[in-house]
Amino acid sequence: MPYKEKKVEKLYYAIGEVARMFHVNTSLIRFWEKEFDIIKPRKNKKGNRFFTKQDINNLHLIYHLVKEKGMTLNGAKKKLKENKDDTTNNFEIIKSLTEIKNLLLEIKENL
């Protein structure tokens, strides 16, 4: 059986990497960190931020609410405070459906 290299997943991401993931400035990531208490990156002695996978998932949820759905920051905060579980579940469903759509479009192009 041939050797398969495991995909290495990072534990921590620098703020620049996170900003590139979302195609935004690092200042927006820092601003959202101050505004939303669900984002808690670790900081080293120099003050550099390191985001975990959970932080990135929370940022993705905030990005979805604010940038894609057009909610205000106060509206997004209120929605996350009132029913974070429902919001997270709805977002996961939307994310899965988008991935399925992209896969089907890719299959269609290959036909």
Give the residue carrying structure tokens 């299959």.
107
- The answer, as to whether pTM is greater than 0.95, is no
Fold assignment, 13-82: Multidrug-efflux Transporter Regulator; Chain: A; Domain 2 (1.10.1660)
Whether the pLDDT of residue 3 is over 70: the answer is: no
Domain boundaries, the chain: 13-82
Helix, strand and coil content of the chain, in percent to the nearest 5, comes to: 65, 5, 30
Res 90: pLDDT: 83
Alpha helices in the chain (DSSP H): 15-22, 26-35, 53-63, 73-110
pLDDT tens, residue by residue, 36-67: 988 999 999 998 999 999 999 899 999 988 98
Residues of the chain above pLDDT 90, percent = 46
Res 69: pLDDT: 87
How does residue 14 score in pLDDT terms, banded at 50, 70 and 90?
very high
Local structure of residue 8 (DSSP, 8 states): P
| Distance between CA atoms of residues 39 and 81, nearest Å | 13
